[in-house]
Amino acid sequence: MERVLEDFVTAARTAGVRISISETLDAARAVETVGYGDRALLRDVLAVSLAKTAAEKQLLEDCFDRFFSFGFFAGAAEREPDRGGEDPSRIKVESSLVRMLMEEDRAGLIAAMTEAARLENLSQIRYLTQRNLFAFRLLSRMGVDDLDRQLHSMRAIDTPAAAAAASGLEAAKRYLVENVRNYVQNTYELFAGDEGLRRLEGELRLIKLSNIEQRYFVRIHEIILRMVKRLNDLSSRRRKRARRGVLDFKRTLRENISCQGLLFTPSWKKKKIDRPQFVVICDISRSVLRTVRFLLLFLYGLNQEIARIRTFVFCTNLIEVSDIFDRCPVDEALSRIQGGADIPLIMGRTDYERSFGDFRRNYLDAVTRKTTVLILGDARNNYNDPCPDHLKAIYDRAKRLIWLNPEVPAFWGAGDSEIRQYSPYCSVIRECNTLNHIERLISALIRS
């Protein structure tokens, strides 16, 4: 009986319920106390000991219904009575399987099937391609070879009665195979349903964003939302702890000197975590656009209380777009900027000198001692003069300046890439072209 519970816990974990070992042990003890007799009671007991949030309870109950469903071999009555009026009991019963099929012994068939599944370790199924193999193994265990032998011997006899009996037996065999296949499919969905999806997600985090196809955009969207939610949860909890502090003894003593050392007013150590301020300057020429989109999706997903962001985009010249991003979602904002006629952005060849110059002239007051400046671009200036003085001015004012380059480091400095000229004025230059990079970067930025 523990096997059943173990399998159920595995199935529940696949469905997304987080179950630890101690909870499994609790569930085992609880089920021992209560017994397996009553289905509704068992459901309640498992829900109470395994699922610890309302959402998990729902998932667990669905999983329970699927796992303990015994709706197989139900259509026994609808088999084609293809016997030409022959009495079915005339078919010689040569094996227990044939007997069960002929007598439509549903319970017996289900018991035989689940026993075969247990012996063949059907709960280990992981891949879609294993279904046929497992179905074959299950059928062998159940004794389908004997059935085949009987069928063969029946066909060898050349009488109409034998022919009718043989077709009846064939119909029974088809029925058996179909139900076993359904059972294997159901088990596959319970135990390995999300395996493919999970692997896809792992891959998506590592693929270069510039290479991702359009059809994966929605998935990436979801992954980003999940990462952002995690970051939000982590950061908000930390902030709460910082509001209250421990007793600052030295300051207390100092403040209470006037009371002759009596600790009249205690004072507390206050750790103030400031909301980090970001200024993001993005190159939106086509080569970098994908990465820009996902990075902005990430940043704007962060809770308002965690970071303040001002966004600028440039191609040939530079403009501020924070208000557009505040008002619309990231995708819409980006398409508005690219296509918008009312936005004074010139989409010609990338000109870093003019863009940085624009920033220095018009927006340098956005950068203060506490600001982190993020520049996202590949530093390819089309062989124009890079003029790093503008960047120097920004770097001197900011707390730090981080350059994110979507190209692989091997290409930095090759061709018209001016990253080498800009590097003295950057605190750090990072490669940023997969989701993992973005996530690591943002969590490091928020933490510091």
Residue ranges that bind another protein, judged by CB under 8 A: 20, 22-23, 26, 29-30, 33-34, 40-41, 44-45, 47-49, 51-54, 57, 233, 241
Q: Which is nearer to another protein, 45 or 309 (CB)?
A: 45
Smallest separation, CB 33 to another protein (Å): 5
Residues belonging to the chain:
448
**Could you tell me if 73 and 114 are in contact, meaning their C-beta atoms sit under 8 angstroms apart?**
no
Smallest separation, CB 227 to another protein (Å): 18
If residue 281 lies in a helix (H) or strand (E), which one and from where to where? strand 277-283
- The helix/strand/coil state of 429 is strand
For residues 368 and 208, give the distance between their C-alpha atoms in angstroms, rounded to a whole number. 33
**Could you tell me if 144 and 97 are in contact, meaning their C-beta atoms sit under 8 angstroms apart?**
yes
For residues 311 and 330, give the distance between their C-alpha atoms in angstroms, rounded to a whole number. 12
Smallest separation, CB 164 to another protein (Å): 53
**Could you tell me if 305 and 236 are in contact, meaning their C-beta atoms sit under 8 angstroms apart?**
yes
If residue 401 lies in a helix (H) or strand (E), which one and from where to where? strand 400-405
Q: Which is nearer to another protein, 215 or 240 (CB)?
A: 240
Q: Give Cα separations from 310 to 320, 399, 448 (angstroms).
A: 8, 15, 19
For residues 357 and 344, give the distance between their C-alpha atoms in angstroms, rounded to a whole number. 16
Q: Which is nearer to another protein, 28 or 343 (CB)?
A: 28
Smallest separation, CB 246 to another protein (Å): 11
The CB density around residue 248, as the number of other CB atoms within 10 Å, is 15
Smallest separation, CB 50 to another protein (Å): 9
Q: Which is nearer to another protein, 234 or 328 (CB)?
A: 234
Smallest separation, CB 22 to another protein (Å): 6
The CB density around residue 167, as the number of other CB atoms within 10 Å, is 18
For residues 81 and 175, give the distance between their C-alpha atoms in angstroms, rounded to a whole number. 12
Q: Which is nearer to another protein, 233 or 305 (CB)?
A: 233
Q: Which is nearer to another protein, 49 or 291 (CB)?
A: 49
In the block, which residue shows the tokens 């002929």?
102
Q: Which is nearer to another protein, 114 or 267 (CB)?
A: 267
Smallest separation, CB 52 to another protein (Å): 4
The backbone torsions φ and ψ at residue 40, rounded to the nearest 5 degrees and listed phi first, read: -65, -40
Residues in a beta bridge with 371: 277
Query: Of all residues in the chain, what percent are helix, strand and coil, respectively (each to 5)?
Result: 60, 10, 30
Smallest separation, CB 240 to another protein (Å): 8
Q: Looking at beta carbons, which pairs linking 92-96 to residues 24 or more positions away fall under 8 Å?
A: 92/150, 94/146, 94/149, 94/150, 95/143, 95/146, 95/147, 95/150, 96/143
Q: Which is nearer to another protein, 47 or 207 (CB)?
A: 47
Smallest separation, CB 214 to another protein (Å): 36
For residues 324 and 330, give the distance between their C-alpha atoms in angstroms, rounded to a whole number. 9
Smallest separation, CB 241 to another protein (Å): 7
Q: Which is nearer to another protein, 240 or 369 (CB)?
A: 240
Q: Which is nearer to another protein, 198 or 241 (CB)?
A: 241
